[in-house]
Amino acid sequence: MRRPTLADTLRLYLVTDSASLRGRPLADVVLAAVQGGVSCVQLREKSLPTRDFVVLACAMKALLGPLNVPLIINDRVDVALACGAEGVHLGQSDMPVALARHLLPAQVFVGLSVETEADVMRAAGQAVDYLGVSPIFTTPTKTDTLAPWGLDGLRRVRAMTNLPLVAIGGIQLPNAMAVVDAGTDGLAVVSALCSADDPCAAARALLRCLGPGRIGSG
Protein backbone atom coordinates (compact mmCIF):
# COMPACT_ATOMS: atom_id res chain seq x y z
CA MET A 1 0.00 0.00 0.00
CA ARG A 2 1.29 3.48 -0.89
CA ARG A 3 2.22 5.57 2.13
CA PRO A 4 0.25 8.80 2.41
CA THR A 5 2.13 11.90 1.29
CA LEU A 6 1.85 15.38 2.74
CA ALA A 7 -0.32 16.30 -0.24
CA ASP A 8 -2.70 13.49 0.78
CA THR A 9 -2.79 14.87 4.33
CA LEU A 10 -3.69 18.33 3.04
CA ARG A 11 -6.49 17.27 0.66
CA LEU A 12 -9.48 18.47 2.68
CA TYR A 13 -8.20 21.00 5.19
CA LEU A 14 -10.56 22.44 7.80
CA VAL A 15 -9.65 25.83 9.27
CA THR A 16 -11.63 26.48 12.42
CA ASP A 17 -13.49 29.72 13.05
CA SER A 18 -15.38 30.04 16.31
CA ALA A 19 -17.53 32.82 14.90
CA SER A 20 -18.85 30.54 12.15
CA LEU A 21 -20.07 27.67 14.34
CA ARG A 22 -23.63 29.00 14.74
CA GLY A 23 -23.54 28.36 18.47
CA ARG A 24 -22.45 24.73 18.20
CA PRO A 25 -19.49 23.26 20.14
CA LEU A 26 -16.27 23.33 18.14
CA ALA A 27 -15.55 19.68 18.92
CA ASP A 28 -18.93 18.57 17.53
CA VAL A 29 -18.43 20.42 14.25
CA VAL A 30 -14.84 19.20 13.85
CA LEU A 31 -15.77 15.59 14.60
CA ALA A 32 -18.63 15.65 12.10
CA ALA A 33 -16.38 17.16 9.42
CA VAL A 34 -13.70 14.54 10.06
CA GLN A 35 -16.31 11.79 9.78
CA GLY A 36 -17.16 13.24 6.38
CA GLY A 37 -13.56 13.07 5.16
CA VAL A 38 -11.60 16.07 6.46
CA SER A 39 -7.94 15.04 6.37
CA CYS A 40 -6.40 17.69 8.67
CA VAL A 41 -7.58 20.46 10.98
CA GLN A 42 -6.00 23.86 11.54
CA LEU A 43 -6.90 25.44 14.86
CA ARG A 44 -7.06 29.18 14.28
CA GLU A 45 -7.74 31.32 17.35
CA LYS A 46 -6.48 34.88 16.95
CA SER A 47 -8.07 36.34 20.09
CA LEU A 48 -7.78 33.62 22.74
CA PRO A 49 -5.34 34.19 25.63
CA THR A 50 -2.39 31.81 25.51
CA ARG A 51 -3.55 29.62 28.40
CA ASP A 52 -7.00 29.15 26.87
CA PHE A 53 -5.51 28.47 23.44
CA VAL A 54 -3.27 25.75 24.91
CA VAL A 55 -6.21 24.12 26.71
CA LEU A 56 -8.28 24.14 23.53
CA ALA A 57 -5.37 22.85 21.42
CA CYS A 58 -4.72 19.97 23.82
CA ALA A 59 -8.40 19.04 23.74
CA MET A 60 -8.41 19.13 19.94
CA LYS A 61 -5.27 16.98 19.83
CA ALA A 62 -6.95 14.47 22.14
CA LEU A 63 -9.98 14.39 19.82
CA LEU A 64 -8.05 14.05 16.56
CA GLY A 65 -5.15 11.86 17.64
CA PRO A 66 -7.09 8.57 17.87
CA LEU A 67 -8.59 9.33 14.44
CA ASN A 68 -5.12 9.82 12.87
CA VAL A 69 -6.09 13.30 11.69
CA PRO A 70 -3.21 15.78 12.00
CA LEU A 71 -3.68 18.96 14.01
CA ILE A 72 -2.13 22.16 12.64
CA ILE A 73 -1.78 25.27 14.78
CA ASN A 74 -2.14 28.67 13.16
CA ASP A 75 0.71 31.08 13.90
CA ARG A 76 1.61 29.94 17.42
CA VAL A 77 4.70 27.76 17.57
CA ASP A 78 4.55 27.74 21.38
CA VAL A 79 1.02 26.35 21.34
CA ALA A 80 2.00 23.72 18.76
CA LEU A 81 4.85 22.58 20.99
CA ALA A 82 2.63 22.54 24.07
CA CYS A 83 -0.03 20.29 22.53
CA GLY A 84 2.16 18.12 20.29
CA ALA A 85 0.59 19.28 17.03
CA GLU A 86 1.69 17.69 13.77
CA GLY A 87 1.92 21.00 11.89
CA VAL A 88 2.19 24.77 12.12
CA HIS A 89 0.88 27.31 9.62
CA LEU A 90 2.58 30.69 9.40
CA GLY A 91 1.57 33.94 7.77
CA GLN A 92 3.89 36.47 6.19
CA SER A 93 3.95 38.58 9.38
CA ASP A 94 4.36 35.68 11.82
CA MET A 95 7.52 34.14 13.24
CA PRO A 96 10.17 33.68 10.51
CA VAL A 97 10.11 30.22 9.01
CA ALA A 98 13.77 29.56 9.84
CA LEU A 99 13.23 30.29 13.52
CA ALA A 100 10.06 28.20 13.67
CA ARG A 101 11.85 25.32 11.96
CA HIS A 102 14.70 25.60 14.50
CA LEU A 103 12.29 25.40 17.43
CA LEU A 104 10.03 22.64 16.12
CA PRO A 105 10.77 18.90 16.05
CA ALA A 106 11.85 17.68 12.62
CA GLN A 107 8.64 15.71 12.09
CA VAL A 108 6.40 18.78 12.45
CA PHE A 109 5.51 20.18 9.03
CA VAL A 110 5.40 23.92 8.35
CA GLY A 111 3.04 25.71 5.98
CA LEU A 112 3.35 29.30 4.80
CA SER A 113 0.69 31.63 3.42
CA VAL A 114 1.56 33.34 0.13
CA GLU A 115 -0.34 36.38 -1.09
CA THR A 116 1.95 37.57 -3.91
CA GLU A 117 4.25 36.03 -6.49
CA ALA A 118 7.17 37.55 -4.55
CA ASP A 119 6.04 35.54 -1.50
CA VAL A 120 6.11 32.37 -3.61
CA MET A 121 9.63 33.10 -4.87
CA ARG A 122 10.93 33.81 -1.35
CA ALA A 123 9.41 30.56 -0.09
CA ALA A 124 11.67 28.63 -2.46
CA GLY A 125 14.63 29.38 -0.19
CA GLN A 126 12.89 28.52 3.08
CA ALA A 127 12.28 25.29 4.98
CA VAL A 128 8.60 25.21 4.07
CA ASP A 129 6.66 22.00 3.50
CA TYR A 130 3.58 23.45 1.76
CA LEU A 131 2.13 26.78 0.66
CA GLY A 132 -1.27 28.20 1.49
CA VAL A 133 -2.40 30.27 -1.50
CA SER A 134 -4.55 32.99 0.02
CA PRO A 135 -7.11 34.19 -0.76
CA ILE A 136 -8.39 32.56 -3.94
CA PHE A 137 -11.68 34.46 -3.79
CA THR A 138 -12.98 37.28 -1.62
CA THR A 139 -13.90 35.96 1.81
CA PRO A 140 -15.55 37.49 4.88
CA THR A 141 -13.64 35.22 7.27
CA LYS A 142 -10.25 36.78 6.49
CA THR A 143 -10.13 40.49 5.77
CA ASP A 144 -6.41 41.25 6.29
CA THR A 145 -5.27 39.91 2.91
CA LEU A 146 -4.32 41.40 -0.43
CA ALA A 147 -6.36 41.12 -3.63
CA PRO A 148 -7.64 37.61 -4.40
CA TRP A 149 -5.48 35.36 -6.58
CA GLY A 150 -8.38 34.02 -8.62
CA LEU A 151 -8.05 30.83 -10.63
CA ASP A 152 -5.48 32.31 -13.02
CA GLY A 153 -3.33 33.36 -10.09
CA LEU A 154 -3.50 29.87 -8.63
CA ARG A 155 -2.37 28.45 -11.98
CA ARG A 156 0.62 30.82 -11.92
CA VAL A 157 1.59 29.66 -8.45
CA ARG A 158 1.30 26.04 -9.55
CA ALA A 159 3.75 26.76 -12.39
CA MET A 160 6.21 28.41 -9.99
CA THR A 161 6.63 25.67 -7.38
CA ASN A 162 6.58 21.94 -6.83
CA LEU A 163 5.56 22.30 -3.19
CA PRO A 164 2.11 21.04 -2.24
CA LEU A 165 -0.46 23.83 -2.51
CA VAL A 166 -3.50 24.44 -0.32
CA ALA A 167 -6.02 26.93 -1.70
CA ILE A 168 -8.03 29.00 0.77
CA GLY A 169 -10.43 31.90 0.65
CA GLY A 170 -14.04 31.88 -0.48
CA ILE A 171 -14.02 28.19 -1.42
CA GLN A 172 -17.49 26.64 -1.46
CA LEU A 173 -18.94 23.57 -3.12
CA PRO A 174 -19.96 25.37 -6.38
CA ASN A 175 -16.39 26.57 -7.09
CA ALA A 176 -14.36 23.80 -5.46
CA MET A 177 -13.88 21.66 -8.56
CA ALA A 178 -12.61 24.65 -10.57
CA VAL A 179 -10.06 25.36 -7.82
CA VAL A 180 -8.84 21.77 -7.93
CA ASP A 181 -8.56 21.90 -11.71
CA ALA A 182 -6.49 25.10 -11.41
CA GLY A 183 -3.75 23.15 -9.66
CA THR A 184 -4.24 22.94 -5.93
CA ASP A 185 -3.45 19.79 -3.96
CA GLY A 186 -5.81 20.65 -1.14
CA LEU A 187 -8.91 22.67 -0.38
CA ALA A 188 -8.85 24.68 2.84
CA VAL A 189 -12.33 25.67 3.93
CA VAL A 190 -13.75 27.62 6.82
CA SER A 191 -17.44 28.56 6.61
CA ALA A 192 -18.20 25.83 4.04
CA LEU A 193 -17.82 23.37 6.91
CA CYS A 194 -18.00 25.40 10.13
CA SER A 195 -21.33 26.96 9.13
CA ALA A 196 -22.78 23.98 7.26
CA ASP A 197 -26.11 22.57 8.45
CA ASP A 198 -24.49 19.13 8.25
CA PRO A 199 -20.66 19.38 8.35
CA CYS A 200 -20.30 15.65 7.66
CA ALA A 201 -22.37 15.79 4.46
CA ALA A 202 -20.66 19.03 3.41
CA ALA A 203 -17.24 17.43 3.81
CA ARG A 204 -18.30 14.41 1.77
CA ALA A 205 -19.49 16.68 -1.03
CA LEU A 206 -16.22 18.61 -1.08
CA LEU A 207 -14.24 15.39 -1.00
CA ARG A 208 -15.92 14.28 -4.21
CA CYS A 209 -14.33 17.32 -5.89
CA LEU A 210 -10.96 15.89 -4.85
CA GLY A 211 -11.64 12.46 -6.32
CA PRO A 212 -9.04 10.34 -8.15
CA GLY A 213 -7.48 12.14 -11.08
CA ARG A 214 -8.53 15.60 -9.91
CA ILE A 215 -5.41 16.58 -7.97
CA GLY A 216 -3.48 19.46 -9.44
CA SER A 217 0.15 18.42 -8.92
CA GLY A 218 -0.19 14.77 -8.06
Residue 217 placed within a domain: no
Query: How many folded domains does the chain comprise?
Result: 1
Q: What is the pLDDT at residue 143?
A: 62
Residue 218 placed within a domain: no
> Domain of 90: which CATH number?
3.20.20.70
Domain that holds residue 10: 6-209
Residue 214 placed within a domain: no
Counting Cα atoms < 13 Å in the Cβ hemisphere of 18 gives 8
> Tens-of-pLDDT digits for all 218 residues of the chain?
667 899 999 999 999 999 999 999 999 999 999 999 999 999 999 999 999 999 999 999 999 999 999 999 999 999 999 999 999 999 999 999 999 999 999 999 999 999 999 999 999 999 999 999 999 999 876 666 679 999 999 999 999 999 999 999 999 999 999 999 999 999 999 999 999 999 999 999 999 999 864 444 33
Counting Cα atoms < 13 Å in the Cβ hemisphere of 54 gives 8
Residue 216 placed within a domain: no
d(CA 175, CA 186): 13
d(CA 80, CA 61): 10
